[in-house]
Amino acid sequence: MALFRRTLGDVLRERRSELGLTLREVSGTARVSLGYISEIERGQKEASSELLASLCDALDVPLSQVLRDVADAVAVEEGAVPQPTPIAPRPQRDEVVASAA
């Protein structure tokens, strides 16, 4: 079974690593203790919505993206990989599109 807090920690750690930031740097920017961030990244602590917002700001990533990444990872772990949303084809240049207006 996928644990939200563990998957969230993995997503946050991955983002921090992509940016090349240390826990100390994120801690200073987010104004959250280094130890607490470490526990969140290891899935040992739950992050409040306020704390998560601070971490997302420090990592320069929208909260919606973090939650989307967590949801996708949980879906993969559960074997319920989300299906891509079908995108309507764009009209060709010469094609006239009727308007409802």
pLDDT value at position 56? 97
| Contact partners, residue 43, CB within 8 Å, separation at least 6 | 3, 5, 6, 7, 8, 9, 10
> Over the stretch 39-86, which tens digit does the pLDDT of each residue have?
999 999 999 999 999 999 999 999 999 999 999 998 888 887 655 556
pLDDT value at position 97? 52
Residue 94: pLDDT band (50, 70, 90) is low
> Over the stretch 19-40, which tens digit does the pLDDT of each residue have?
999 999 999 999 999 999 999 9
Homologous superfamily of 4-77 in CATH? lambda repressor-like DNA-binding domains (1.10.260.40)
- How far is residue 6 CA from its own chain's centroid? 13
**9 compared with 95, residue with greater pLDDT:** 9
| Contact partners, residue 24, CB within 8 Å, separation at least 6 | 34
* Domain-wise residue ranges, the chain: 4-77
